[in-house]
Amino acid sequence: MAKKPLIVGNWKMYLASAEEAKKFASGLRRKLPLYKNIDVSIAPPFTLLSATVAAFKNSAVKVGAQSVSQFLDEKRTGEVSAAMAKASGATFAIVGHSERRAMGETNAVVRAQLMRALEENLSIILCIGETERDHAGAYLSVVTEQLSSALDKLPIIKTGKLVIAYEPVWAIGKSADDAMKGPDLREMSIFIKKTLTEYMERSAALKVPILYGGAVEASNARTLLQEGDVQGLLVGHASAQLDSFIEILKSVSHK
C-alpha cells in the first residue's frame, strides 16, 4: 500500500447546496486530523466549487473541478473553462471520466481538456478504463489508446502535475463484490506504468500516481491499495456521504 495514499472524492451531483457542502467540510475537518497519513481531495459540482474551497480553507484538503471545457473562446453557452475553475479556487481538474466519455467526450476532447487545464497550471486527474473485458485482451488496446491520445508529446515539465485514475467502467456504480480484484488491478497498474514510459522518462513515469475507481467502499478500500499496487482511490457516491467517506479514510489509514 502506498505510504501516503491519495483519496479523491468525486461528489458528482449528489450534493446540491452550499449548506450541504459546508456541513460535509466541517465534519471532515473534525475527523481528518486522525488520518494525517492520507492526502484527500474533493471534486464538487461547479456550482459548489467556490463554497467548497471556502469551507476547506486553511486545511490540507485540495478542491478541484469534475471537468473543464475543451474550448478557449467565450462563445460557448453552458461551458466552464479551466480559467473559470481556477478563478473559483480549483487546484486540479478531472478529465476523461467514464461518465463524461459516455456522454460523447472523445479521446480528442479529453486531450484538449487536459491541455486547457495545464495551461492554467491545474493538476490533472486523467481517467482511463475499458467498458468491458475480453479474454483476447482487446481492452488493453483501449487503455493504451486513451493514454496515447492524452499524453503523446506532452511537455515533460508538465508530467509532475499528472495523476492517472483507472476506472473499469464495468465496475462503476456496483457493490464492493463487483470491484476489480487485487491481482487483476496489480496487473493493470504495471501495464499502465509500462505504457507511461512510452510518453515520458521512466523515472517520471514511475512517479505518476495511479488511482483506482469503481465500486470503492470501506470494506474493500484497503485491499485494493494493498493488493492492487495503486497509490490511491477515486471514490464516487460514497464520497458524498460523510460517514461512508470517513470509513474509507479510516480503513486505509495505517497509523
Domains, in order of start, for the chain: 6-92+106-252 (3.20.20.70)
- Rounded Cα distance between 113 and 131, Å, is 21
Torsion angle defined by CA atoms of residues 84, 87, 93 and 96, in that order, rounded to the nearest 10 degrees: 0
Has 237 been annotated as catalytic?
Answer: no
* 20, 105, 130, 167: the active-site residue: 167
* 97, 105, 217, 237: the active-site residue: 97
User: Which pTM value belongs to this model?
Assistant: 0.95
pLDDT one digit per residue (tens) for the chain, 255 residues: 557 999 999 999 999 999 999 999 999 999 999 987 899 999 999 999 999 999 999 999 999 999 999 999 889 999 999 999 999 999 999 999 999 999 999 999 999 999 999 999 999 999 999 988 777 778 899 999 999 999 999 887 778 899 999 999 877 766 666 678 889 999 999 999 999 999 999 999 999 999 999 889 999 999 999 999 999 999 999 999 999 999 999 999 865
The residue with cell 463554497 is: 51
Residue 145 · residue 115 · CB < 8 Å: no
- 39 three-class SS: strand
Has 167 been annotated as catalytic?
Answer: yes
